[in-house]
Amino acid sequence: MTTSVTINSVTKRFGDTTAVNNVNFEIAKGEFFTLLGSSGCGKTTLLRMIAGFMRQTSGNISFGDRIIDDVPPHQRNTGMVFQNYAIFPHLTVFDNIAYGLRARRRSAADIEKEVRRMLDLVRLGHLAHRRPRELSGGQQQRVVLARAMVIQPDVLLMDEPLSNLDTEMRVHLRSEIRSLQRQIGITTIYVTHDQEEALLMSDRIAVMSGGQIEQIDTPHRTYSEPQTLFVAGFIGENNLLPASIIATDADGTTLIELPGGGRIKGTGFGNRQAGSSCTVSIRPQDIDISPIDGSLVDAFQGTLFDLQFLGGALKLIFDIGAERLLTVSLQGRRGMEMPIIGGRYLLNVSRQAVRIFEQGAQS
Ligand SMILES: Nc1ncnc2c1ncn2[C@@H]1O[C@H](COP(=O)(O)OP(=O)(O)OP(=O)(O)O)[C@@H](O)[C@H]1O
Ligand SMILES: [Mg+2]
């Protein structure tokens, strides 16, 4: 039976390195939960502790109500797709996938049916009789995927399962993994450094950095409501600008001054004392442009420095002064007037889209 998973104050040290630093979260039954972060942030280490291949230095891991710290890996009923997790070289594709079902003493008819279903799913039906050495790397990876999912594990653990595949197969398999996961409702913990994959597949994403969790949220909220400067810069394209705090209103909005002297309002995190420096994030698609004679409320000025026509979208680079550039992304519309390079424009942005972070300016 699929299960919830709780990570309670888990830390893992290797000598002086703290690979995972006091991590806490709960994954609901049937949830697709992704650990997202760049290389070395502790994703694999955390997943290996959940699988039982590695013991945490401190903290507990539970499946449902049961603490599983002393349960060996083969008794945790997890399905695993790890980086470099080998398949059996002497078994055919079919027998590799059937392995876990045979170990569970399922009937021959069941095994035939379940393995065929998996083979279809990963598009390997025509290669069922082959051995691993007669497969490409991507095909081998798909055998690993099929083998992990066919046993209907309590928890499915996947560590960059699509990283060795070509784009077409990756796009195919990520939607297949997701729809299969929904159908059978297996709690899934998925590791990737690919934000597009994470945004597309997950119910929730935990963004990790330096062994810690920066934010746990739905893909949409992770993108639109980043809680830390790291998340604001890591997920999606963003303008990160140094700024200074002018004043904070009773309604919680804060007036800031941008490089070049423009003043706008935003919503903030942490200390927002007048005079202190901060970093603001503004998504390129949250900015509108208008002729310079418009109102200056929630707007500042810039000179168009470069324009890239991308078919459906228009990418504009503005010089806002003080040697700072700002990217604006506009949706292309029939008949729209092309902005003019060298022209001066008002840049409008809603205060909700201006997020103010306490950390000092990044240059
Ligand atoms: N067995 C080990 N001994 C010592 N240090 C280790 C060990 N395993 C991992 N580390 C260190 O712990 C940190 C986290 O490693 P981990 O493999 O969890 O990263 P990751 O997020 O999976 O990275 P990647 O995206 O490159 O796979 C790294 O600094 C790594 O060098
Ligand atoms: Mg890893």
**Are 97 and 105 a contacting pair, CB within 8 Å?**
no
Of 164, 159, 175, 191, the C-alpha closest to 36 is 191
Using alpha carbons, list the distances in angstroms from residue 85 to 11, 79, 188, 193, 210. 24, 12, 17, 18, 25
227 and 338 share one domain: no
- Last residue in a domain, options 201, 232, 263: 232
pLDDT tens digits along 23-35: 999 999 999 999 9
76 and 199 share one domain: yes
For range 179-183, the mean pLDDT: 82
**pLDDT score, position 235:** 96
**pLDDT score, position 172:** 83
- Which ligand 1 atom is nearest residue 46's CA? 18
Q: Which of 49-53, 147-151, 165-169 has the highest mean pLDDT?
A: 49-53
Q: Please report, as a single letter, which amino acid is at residue 300.
A: F
Per-residue pLDDT band at 84 (split at 50, 70, 90)? low
110 and 220 share one domain: yes
At 320, list the tokens.
């806002």
For range 97-125, the mean pLDDT: 93
The alpha carbon of 256 and the centre of ligand 1 are apart by a number of angstroms equal to 40
Q: Which residue has the higher pLDDT, 173 or 345?
A: 345
CATH of the domain at 113: 3.40.50.300
What is the DSSP secondary-structure string of 4-59?
A: -EEEEEEEEEETTEEEEEEEEEEE-TT-EEEEE--TTSSHHHHHHHHHTSS--SEE
**Are 8 and 44 a contacting pair, CB within 8 Å?**
no
Whether pLDDT at 239 is above 90: yes
Whether pLDDT at 268 is above 90: no
**pLDDT score, position 179:** 83
Mutate to test the pocket of ligand 1, among 20, 38, 41 (most ligand atoms within 8 A of CB): 41
**pLDDT score, position 291:** 87
At 112, list the tokens.
């035939």
121 and 241 share one domain: no
For range 345-361, the mean pLDDT: 86
The verdict on residue 363 lying in a domain is no
Establish whether residue 48 lines the binding site of ligand 1, counting it when its CB lies within 6 angstroms of any ligand atom. Answer: no
Locus of tokens 């398999």: 173
Q: Tell me the residue range of the domain where 136 lies.
A: 5-232
Whether pLDDT at 263 is above 90: yes
| Whole-angstrom distance, CA of residue 165 vs CA of residue 12 | 31
Whether pLDDT at 361 is above 50: no
- Last residue in a domain, options 216, 232, 248: 232
**Cβ-count burial of 58 within 10 angstroms (0-12 exposed, 13-18 middle, 19+ buried)?**
exposed
User: Which residue's CA is minimally distant from atom 19 of ligand 1?
Assistant: 40
| Whole-angstrom distance, CA of residue 305 vs CA of residue 317 | 5
SS3 110: helix
Based on the structure, what is the number of domains in the chain? 2
pLDDT tens digits along 113-155: 999 999 998 889 999 999 999 998 778 888 988 999 898 899 9
Establish whether residue 41 lines the binding site of ligand 1, counting it when its CB lies within 6 angstroms of any ligand atom. Answer: yes
* 215 strand-pairing partners: 207
Locus of tokens 């919680």: 252
Q: Which residue has the higher pLDDT, 170 or 297?
A: 170
Of 155, 152, 162, the C-alpha closest to 191 is 162
**pLDDT score, position 362:** 45
Establish whether residue 44 lines the binding site of ligand 1, counting it when its CB lies within 6 angstroms of any ligand atom. Answer: yes
310 and 185 share one domain: no
